[in-house]
Amino acid sequence: MDYKKNVEIWLASSKVNEEEKAEIRAMDDAALQDAFGRNAEFGTGGMRAKMGPGTNRLNRFTLGKANYAFARFLLNSVENCREKGVVISHDNRFHHDEFKKLCADIFNRLGIKAYVFDALRPTPELSYAVRKLGAAGGVMITASHNPKEYNGYKVYDDTGCQIVPDAIAPMLEDLAKLPDPISLEMDEYPTKGETIVIGKEIDDPYVELVKGCQMNPDLDKKGFKVVYTPNHGASYETAIRVFQEVGYEIIPVVEQCNHDPAFGGTKSPNPEVAASWERPIEYMRKYGADLAVMTDPDGDRCGLAYVSSKGEIERLTGNESGALLIDYLFSERIKKGTMPKRAVMYDTIVTSSLGEDVARSYGVEVESFLTGFKFIGERIAHYEKLGEGPTFVFGYEESYGCLIEPFARDKDGIQAILLYTEMALFYKRKGMALDEALEALQAKHGYHYTTLFDTYFEGAQGVDIMNNLMASLRENPPKKIADIDVVEVRDYLKDEISFADGSKKAIEGLPPSNVLKFVLKDGSTYAVRPSGTEPKVKFYVETKGDRKEGLKEKAAKMNADFRAQAKIA
C-alpha cells in the first residue's frame, strides 16, 4: 500500500478537519508509514487499533467504513434486518459517544433500527441484549484490555455471538472492495431507521440471570470481604448491583470506579498484567479482605487475587482459576443432580490440559477450538439449532475469559467474578485457601505449569516480521526444545499434525489459523500464535509432571531455547 498517496488523499480532503490534518503533518516518516501503510484489519477480536488519523488507525472514517460494510452484510444475510435492528454498546474509551452515534447514524441511513444503551455497558450484556431484543446483530465499541491509546469494533450475529471467520467472509470481501474511507460515499435508504435508547429493561433481566448462576447462594457470607475493581470500565454498575443483591460485602477500588478513558487510576487495564493488581492488593491489605476480583474495561475478562494458606496475597492464572472453577461447578452439579446426561465443556487449543482432565473425570465431554470465544459461542448455537447433542456446561479460555450460563454468547466477566467469589467462599467455609484447593486438584490430576511470553513487533514492518517468523518455523521446526524431543508439530494453518516418524494426520473440525503447537515427548507443549488484536506474537508454554518442583524452571528453559533456535531477540 502506498502510504504517501494515502497521506495526500487525507490532507487534500475537505472531510478531514484541520485538527486531524495538523496531527498528520506532525508525524515523522516512520509514524506516517505505520498510520497509512496498511489498513486496520479484523482479527480474532474484531477490529482493534490505536486511535488517530490514518488507514491503520481507529477513527471516524475507518470505523464508519467497517460499520457500513457490516450494515450491508446484515441486510444481505438477515431477514427483516431493518425491523429487527442492531444493538450498540461501548465501554469507557475515548471517542465512545462519537463512535456510538456514528454507528447508529449509518444503520439509520440504511433504514436499520438502532438500539443504543443510555450509557456504557459490558460486552456480555450487549450479547444478551441482542438475544433479548431479537435483533439482527450487535456492535461493541471497545479495545478490551488494550492500553488507553486503542479503541476497537466487535460485531455480533443474531445469536449474540461474535461472528466467526467463515460467516463474516462476505462482509470482509465487501469491505475490501469498498473505496478508501475518505472517498467512500454511503447509500441511503428512502425511509430512515429510528434510534431507540435502552437501559433498565435489559439491565434487570440480565442481572437476574447472572444471580441465577450461583450454585450455593445460601453460603454464609458474614465476615467474607471482597475487593472489586472494574478497571474504570463498563462492568461497575452492573457488577456492584449483582454483588449487593446477593449479599456479599464488597469493597470497590474507588480510584478505579470512575469511567476514566485515560485509565488514570491503574497502571494497566489488563487483568493478566501484574501491575494492574497493585491498587486492589493495597485494598486487600488495608481492609483485611479475603479476595479481590477484577474485570477488564469491557467486562468480558476477569482475574482474582486471594489470601493463601501462608497468609500471603497470591494470584491465579486463567488456566488455574478455570480448572478450579470447573471442579467446583461440576462437583456441585453432580451433588445436586443438575448435571446433564450428556454434558460438554469447551476450551481452546492453547488452554492448559488440566481443565480438560478435570472435566473428563466428571464424565463431561471436551471440545477444543481456536483462540477466540466466538468459536465457543458458535458451537453452543450449533447444538441448539440441531436440537440434539451435548449440553453446554462451561466454556473458557486461558486469558481469563469464561462463560457459565449461555444466556450471553461471549465470555462474561460478571458471571465469572460472582462464581469465583462463591468458590472462594465455599473453600473458606471448608477451612481451605485457594492454593490448597489447587494443590489438591493437581495432586489428583497431575501438576501443570503454564506461562505466556509476548514479543511485540511494532511499526510498518511488524506484520512482515511476524509472518516471516511463522514461515521460518514451518519450514524448519525445532526437533528438540530444551533437549526434549518434539514428537508432534500441530500446524493449524495447514490443518495438519506432523509426527516425528514422518507420518501425518489431518486436524479436523477447525478452520485454518496461523498457529503452531509443538508437543514434546514428556507431554509438555510450546505454542506460537500471532495476536489477532495487537502487533505481537504470543508464546504459550505448558510443562507437566507428577510433582510441581522444577516445572517453572523447565518452562523458562524451554522458552529460552525455543527463542534462541528461532532467532527471536
69-115 pLDDT per residue, tens: 999 999 999 999 999 999 999 999 999 999 999 999 999 999 999 99
Question: CA torsion sign, 361 to 363 to 364 to 370?
Answer: positive
Is residue 210's pLDDT more than 90?
A: yes
* Residue 13 half-sphere exposure toward CB, CA atoms < 13 A: 21
Q: What is the pLDDT of residue 457?
A: 84
Does residue 383 sit in helix, strand or coil?
Answer: helix
Q: What is the mean pLDDT of the chain?
A: 96
The identity of residue 57, as a single letter, is: R
CA 412 – CA 242 distance, rounded (Å): 13
The catalytic site residues sit at 144
Angle at 489 between CA 167 and CA 443, to 5 degrees: 95
For residue 4, what pLDDT is reported?
95
pLDDT at 265 (0 to 100): 97
> pLDDT tens across 250-265, in order?
999 999 999 999 999 9
pLDDT, tens only, 428-461: 999 999 999 999 999 999 999 999 998 888 776 7
The DSSP output letter for 194 is P
CA 347-499-525 angle, 5° bins: 40
Q: How far is CA 257 from the centre of its chain?
A: 21
CB burial string 493-508: b at 16+ within 10 A, e below: eebebbeeeeeeeebe
- 39-193 and 206-214+223-445 in the same fold: yes
The CATH number of 39-193 is: 3.40.120.10
Question: Does residue 471 surpass a pLDDT of 70?
Answer: yes
pLDDT of the residue at 531: 81
122 contacts 298 by C-beta, under 8 angstroms: yes
357 sits in the region (left: phi over 0; alpha: psi -120 to 50; else beta) called alpha
For the ranges 46-50, 157-161, 320-324, the lowest mean pLDDT is seen at 46-50
pLDDT of residue 337: 97
**Distance between CA 481 and CA 518 in Å, rounded?**
9
pLDDT value for 46: 84
Q: What does DSSP say about strands 195-198 and 313-315: parallel, antiparallel, or unpaired?
A: unpaired
pTM above 0.85, yes or no: yes
The residues near 490 (Cβ < 8 Å, ≥ 6 apart) are: 349, 496, 497, 507, 515, 516, 517, 518, 519
**One-letter amino acid identity for 373?**
F
- Report yes or no: 140 and 148 within 8 Å, Cβ to Cβ: no
pLDDT confidence of residue 533: 67
Mean pLDDT of 482-501: 96
Where exactly are the structural domains of the chain? Answer: 39-193, 206-214+223-445, 447-566
Sign for the CA dihedral angle at 224, 214, 401, 114 comes to: negative
For the chain, the first-to-last Cα distance in angstroms comes to 28
Q: Give me the pLDDT at residue 460, please.
A: 64
pLDDT of 184 over the 90 cut = yes
Which stretches of 96-251 are DSSP H helices? 96-109, 123-133, 165-177, 200-211, 236-246
Give the CA distances from residue 412 to residues 128, 212, 316, 348, 402, in Å, rounded to whole numbers and listed in that order: 10, 14, 18, 16, 6
Percent over 70 (pLDDT), the chain = 99
CA distances from 156 to 153, 159, 199, 342 (A): 10, 8, 19, 28
pLDDT band, very low/low/confident/very high, at 550 (cuts 50, 70, 90) = very high
* Nearest partner of 413 among 157, 166, 206, judged by Cα: 206
Asked if residue 290 has pLDDT above 90, the reply is yes
pLDDT in tens, 109-147: 999 999 999 999 999 999 999 999 999 999 999 999 999
458 compared with 465, residue with greater pLDDT:
465
User: Among candidates 106, 112, 102, which has minimal Cα distance to 77?
Assistant: 112
Residues in CB range of 371: below 8 A, 6 or more apart:
44, 348, 349, 350, 397, 513, 515, 529, 532
Q: How far out from the chain centre does Cα 62 lie?
A: 22
Question: How many percent of the chain have pLDDT more than 90?
Answer: 93
Model confidence at 466: pLDDT above 80? yes
CATH no. of 447-566: 3.30.310.50
**Count of CB atoms situated within 10 Å of the CB of 223:** 9
Do the Cβ atoms of 481 and 520 come closer than 8 Å?
A: yes
**pLDDT over 90 at 507, yes or no:** yes
pLDDT at 161 over 80: yes
* DSSP label of 276: G
Domain 206-214+223-445 adopts which CATH fold?
A: Alpha-D-Glucose-1,6-Bisphosphate; Chain A, domain 3 (3.40.120)
Q: What is the predicted pLDDT for the residue at 17?
A: 96
Torsion of CA 293, 297, 301, 302, to 10 degrees: -10
